[in-house]
Amino acid sequence: MIDVSQESPKPIAPGPPDGFLRVRMLLAYDGSTFRGFAENVGVRTVGGVLREALETILGHRVAIVVAGRTDAGVHAWGQVISFDARAERLHPEAMRNGLNSMLAPSIAIRRVEIAEPSFHARFSATTRTYRYRILNSHTPDPFLAGQVWLVRDDLDVATLSAASELFVGTHDFTAFCRRAKDRPDATMVRRVDCVGWELEDHPEGRLLTFGISASAFCHQMVRSVVGAVVEAGLGKCTVEDLTEALLHTERALDGKLGSPSGLTLWEVGY
C-alpha cells in the first residue's frame, strides 16, 4: 500500500506586489507548431509567444505560472495560467480581445479574470484532466493528422479498457514517467481518479478518445500510460504485464510513448 502523503506538499504562493492584481487566464492552443509551453531560448514556445504578447499589452514584464507544462506537439483546451498585472493597465475583456487578435489561430484566450491574491495556476490546482485521441485506421486522415495518434493495426477495445483501469488509484508511476534530471529524488507517486474510453465512427476506421484525471501528472506519464495500454490492445503484452510493471521502477515496455499529437490538456480543476 502506498501512502498518499508521499505526494509532494504544495507550497504557499505569495500574493502580488503593491499596485498589482493577480490574473487568471483560461486558454486553448494547437501545439503542433510549438516546442512545448515552457520558454526555451531559440525555439518557439506557447509560453514565450504568450508572454511577449502580454508584455506588449501591459507595458511591463510578466512572469507566467502555468498549470501544466505541455511538451512539444501537445495541445490544450483548458490550460490555465496566472500572472500579476499593474491594476491601472488591467482591462480583462480588452486584454482577451487584444490577445486573440495577436495570437490567432494557434492560441485562443477563452477567459480572463481577476483572481484571489493567493491564486496560483499550478499550486492551487486539485485535478488535471487529459484527453488522448487515437485514429485506429489503415488509412491516415490529413485533417486529423496533427490531432491524433494513427494506429493502423486493429485495437481490442475491451483490452484497452481493462488495461487502463489498472492505473486508477494511488500508485508509484516511476515505470511510466520520465524523471527530471534536476529532481532525481522527486516522488513519482500520483493519484489517478478516473479513466475511460469513448468510441466514434470514422469513414476509414474508428476514433478512440482516452480520458484520464489525476491529482497531478509526472513528465510523459499520460503518453507512457497510453503507449503501454495500446501495446496491450494490440496483443503485444498482457494486462498482467502492465500490473507487474506498476510494481517496478524500470521504464515499462521499453518506454513506449504515444505520439504527442494525440494529447490534449483538457481541464484543470481548482
* pLDDT in single tens digits along all 270 residues of the chain: 344 444 556 677 788 999 999 999 999 999 999 999 999 999 999 999 999 999 999 999 999 999 999 999 999 999 999 999 999 999 999 999 999 999 999 999 999 999 999 999 999 999 999 999 999 999 999 999 999 999 999 999 999 999 999 999 999 999 898 876 556 678 889 999 999 999 999 999 999 999 999 999 999 999 999 999 999 999 999 999 999 988 876 665 566 899 999 999 999 999
Would you list the DSSP string of 65-109?
EES----TT-EEEEEEEEEEEEGGG--HHHHHHHHHHHHTTTEEE
242 secondary structure, DSSP code: H
CB distance 149 to 222 below 8 Å: no
Task: Write down the pLDDT at residue 1.
Answer: 38
Catalytic residues: 71
Structural element, H or E, at residue 227: helix 221-233
Residues 6+ apart with CB under 8 A from 198: 208, 209, 211
Task: Write down the pLDDT at residue 210.
Answer: 98
How open is the CA angle 247-253-258, to the nearest 5 degrees? 115
Task: Write down the pLDDT at residue 108.
Answer: 98
Task: Write down the pLDDT at residue 2.
Answer: 45
Task: Write down the pLDDT at residue 14.
Answer: 86
Structural element, H or E, at residue 244: helix 239-245
CB distance 109 to 27 below 8 Å: yes
From the list 220, 228, 230, the residue with the least C-alpha distance to 36 is 220
Task: Write down the pLDDT at residue 3.
Answer: 42
**Alpha carbon distance, N-terminus to C-terminus of the chain:** 27
How open is the CA angle 74-47-86, to the nearest 5 degrees? 145
Query: What pTM was estimated for this model as a whole?
Result: 0.91
Residues 6+ apart with CB under 8 A from 243: 166
The identity of residue 246, as a single letter, is L
Domains of the chain: residue spans and CATH: 10-114 (3.30.70.580), 127-269 (3.30.70.660)
3-state secondary structure of 110: strand
Angstrom distance (rounded) from CA 189 to CA 218: 9
Q: How many CB atoms lie within 10 A of CB 245?
A: 19
Query: Could you tell me what percent of the chain has a pLDDT over 70?
Result: 91
Helices 46-58 and 92-103: crossing angle in degrees, nearest 10, is 130
CB distance 216 to 190 below 8 Å: yes
